[in-house]
């Protein structure tokens, strides 16, 4: 039986549950006055996933809160994002502390995003194991293969948009890595890069379905409509830059063998509940004890 590897996009869970539970500025605080609403959602979500997947190994991957190699490529990368709310800031370090106590391996690598870490581990571990990625970021769909599934968070703690290789092929009529080429044309407003102005997702998909890659589209540019030719020629530098920014780096320097040993996961309900109690995560503890 292959191992089951669970790779969690930590920031995706923390942010999602922070905003889902703070719409009306009503935050959960512990007795020290530290907000815990994002953490409470993180804990409930990750244990719901563990209950469903039954992983043998778990890692929670984090952004390091610093600039990455993509900022060296393009200084406007992710520079349009607002600062996190002050109630969320103390939860960044606190959630990692609690995560470690639960027995999860926390990993982040300077100069890289969590997506790059997830992509690297997924590629290396999927040779002999089944890998499950939990995230809110569709960019990670490019990491799907026969042994890698991506579960996109939808709502609640256990509702996902699940992508296997078969589903991705059926939906896009492309291979997962060609998502990079699609994003090269589309750009990503959330990340601050434009791609080719005037070309959206539908057109980008059609172009890649027909020509397979950005490079082949450009090579066959004379076969395109005048409007498409002009848009691409006017934004050629942005197109190539966007492709580099969109690609998840899967060669992050990580000792994956040593990490794999640390990721081995086993726990008991009593241990989980004792940590919830220690950190006054009473909502999480109640949820876990009643569901599992």
Question: For 183-222, what is each residue's pLDDT tens digit?
Answer: 999 999 999 999 999 999 999 999 999 999 999 999 999 9
Alpha-carbon span 187 to 143, nearest angstrom: 19
Contacting residues for 159 by C-beta, under 8 A, at least 6 apart = none
Is pLDDT at 59 greater than 90 in this prediction?
A: yes
Nearest CA-CA partner of 6 in 258, 255, 250, 266: 266
Alpha-carbon span 193 to 187, nearest angstrom: 5
Structure tokens at 11: 């920031």
Contacting residues for 172 by C-beta, under 8 A, at least 6 apart = 178, 179, 205
Q: How confident is the model at residue 1 (pLDDT cuts 50, 70, 90)?
A: confident
Architecture of the domain delimited by 175-246: Orthogonal Bundle (1.10)
The domains of the chain are located at 4-170+255-291, 175-246
pLDDT at 26: 81
- Cα-Cα-Cα-Cα torsion 255, 90, 94, 192, nearest 10 degrees, comes to -30
CATH ID of 4-170+255-291, from 3.40.120.10, 3.40.50.2000, 3.80.10.10, 3.40.50.1010: 3.40.50.1010
| Selected residue with higher pLDDT from 144 and 65 | 144
Structure tokens at 38: 């994002």
pLDDT at 27: 87
Q: How confident is the model at residue 33 (pLDDT cuts 50, 70, 90)?
A: very high
Alpha-carbon span 214 to 29, nearest angstrom: 49
pLDDT at 65: 82
Mean pLDDT of 82-105: 96
Alpha-carbon span 188 to 192, nearest angstrom: 6
């Amino acid at each position: 039986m292959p191992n089951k590897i669970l790779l969690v996009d930590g920031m995706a869970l923390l942010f999602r549950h922070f905003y889902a539970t703070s719409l009306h500025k009503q935050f959960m605080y512990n007795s020290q006055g530290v907000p815990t609403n994002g953490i409470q959602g993180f804990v409930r979500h990750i244990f719901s996933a563990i209950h469903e997947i039954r992983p043998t190994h778990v890692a929670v991957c984090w952004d390091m809160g610093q600039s990455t190699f993509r900022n060296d490529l393009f200084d406007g990368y992710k520079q349009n994002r607002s600062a996190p709310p002050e109630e969320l800031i103390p939860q960044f370090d606190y959630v990692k502390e609690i995560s470690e106590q639960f027995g999860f391996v926390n990993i982040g690598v300077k100069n890289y995003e969590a997506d790059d870490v997830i992509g690297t581990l997924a590629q290396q571990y999927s040779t002999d194991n089944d890998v499950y990625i939990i995230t809110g970021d569709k960019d990670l769909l490019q990491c799907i293969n026969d042994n890698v599934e991506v579960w996109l968070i939808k709502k609640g703690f256990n509702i996902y948009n699940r992508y296997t290789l078969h589903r991705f092929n059926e939906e896009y009529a492309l291979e997962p890595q060609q998502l990079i080429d699609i994003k090269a044309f589309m750009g990503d407003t959330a990340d601050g890069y434009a791609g080719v102005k005037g070309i959206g997702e539908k057109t980008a998909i059609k172009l890649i379905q027909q020509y397979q890659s950005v490079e082949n589209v450009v090579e066959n540019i004379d076969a395109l409509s005048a409007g498409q030719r002009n848009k691409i020629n006017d934004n050629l530098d942005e197109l190539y830059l966007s492709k580099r920014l969109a690609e998840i780096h899967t060669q992050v320097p990580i000792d994956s063998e040593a990490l794999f040993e640390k990721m081995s996961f086993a726990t008991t309900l009593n241990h989980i509940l004792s940590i919830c109690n220690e950190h006054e995560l009473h909502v999480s503890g109640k949820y876990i004890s009643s569901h599992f």
